[in-house]
Amino acid sequence: MDYTNAPVAFRILKALRYVRLYGPRRTLVKIKGQYHMKKRPNPLPQMSTGFAANAKIGIIGCGNYAYSNIAYYLHKNHGRVIRAAMDVDINKAASLFEAYHLNYYTDDPSKIIEDPEIKLVFVASNHRSHAEYAIDSINADKHVHIEKPHVVSRDQLNRLMAAMRKRPEICVFLGFNRPRSKLFNALQSTLHDQSGPLMINWFIAGHEIPADHWYFDEKEGGRVLGNLCHWTDLTLHLVSLERSFPCTIVPSTPQNADSDFVVSMMFQDRSCATITFSAKGHTFEGVREVLNLHKGDVLANLTDFQSLGMDVVQRRRRKRSIFRDHGHEANIMNSYACLEDSGSVGEEPYYIEATAMFFLAIKEAIDTGAPVTLTQADFSTG
């Protein structure tokens, strides 16, 4: 929904609600992000080399997420560390350049990838280009943070893994932010003390988007890869990679459904999970998500990454964040750390492959309407 065209009263109420959910500073940058997407600087701003002499970060893809999350948190925590921004729409690159005082902007990705001063590239472009830009960045000896999904096909995954194997010294990070949420970490810590399989149920109410939205382009992976991958990845974190495969995936949704999905999974350790993703109308408070699970003596409920309830036999634990914390800041800062800590390491190659194989298998199950079994033999890494 384009909030900039909504009635004034709606926009005011939306802003006030978001202040309560995210705080005033975060709400302000979200509002600016809406206008950033429509900004058309005329004339385009002049380049400068005086803003950030020691900046080492490049951003490829300057949409709302890059503006209101990646650039925002980098600037908030470390100042002017972004050297350059690229977007195929030069207006978006120029807008981000102006807002965060970069050295330059461009619509040519090779300028970012070939810039010797840039050591870390954040890739936040359209989905089918993520892996391509990441592979080029790795081959240019740059660390890379790839927003979700990191691939949209098995071919891209194979080529990404091959590039990583050739340059094991390069750190590769993924844009799955929710595993770094403080409440999710608190839940994981409690579950660590329990044994046995899990029963997991996710319910997500996502944004309604128009039928002509680029997310629905098959080459972009659709909403399974564009949205559902967040919760497929979280499910693997809950079960753990060591106990996940073989995994059988069973869809309970119309064949080739493009927005509303129900999918069930049974893992190697007999853990079971169901993910329901619904996008039937406008969600005033953004994406809504509820997790209910049971493992051992733990019954837990995580709501909107703001409140967590855990019952462990007679003990009741309740945690609540002042604002919603989806782990964006922690995840982006974790990637930035590779520039300041020589001991920093990226994601494990096996995890990068496994989480991709998992969401690709789920997409296959939903697209075909048939069960899919993913086994260890399907992987190239171990």
**Cα–Cα distance between 37 and 34 in angstroms, integer?**
6
Please check whether residue 118 is in contact with residue 83, taking contact to mean a CB–CB distance below 8 angstroms. yes
Q: Where do the domains of the chain lie, and which CATH numbers do they carry?
A: 3-174 (3.40.50.720), 178-326+346-378 (3.30.360.10)
Q: What is the pLDDT of residue 210?
A: 80
Q: 66: closest CA among 12, 130, 2, 11?
A: 130
* Percentage above 90 pLDDT, the chain: 82
Residue 353 pLDDT greater than 70, yes or no: yes
What is the pTM (predicted TM-score) of this model?
0.94
Q: What is the pLDDT of residue 341?
A: 82
Give, in degrees to the nearest 5, the angle at Cα 149 between 147 and 155: 125
**211: three-class secondary structure by DSSP:** coil
Query: pLDDT digits over 181-190, tens only?
Result: 999 999 999 9
Residue 247 pLDDT greater than 80, yes or no: yes
Q: What is the pLDDT of residue 215?
A: 84
Distances (CA, A) of 314 to 90, 116, 190, 200, 358: 59, 59, 15, 21, 36
**Cα–Cα distance between 185 and 191 in angstroms, integer?**
10
* Percentage above 70 pLDDT, the chain: 98
Q: What is the pLDDT of residue 255?
A: 67
Q: What is the pLDDT of residue 1?
A: 66
Residue 88 tokens read as 């195929």
Q: What is the pLDDT of residue 42?
A: 86
Distances (CA, A) of 88 to 63, 125, 148, 232: 10, 9, 19, 30
Residue 48 pLDDT greater than 80, yes or no: no
Residue 49 pLDDT greater than 80, yes or no: no
Residue 344 pLDDT greater than 90, yes or no: no
**Confidence tier at 6 by pLDDT (50, 70, 90):** confident
Residue 382 pLDDT greater than 70, yes or no: no
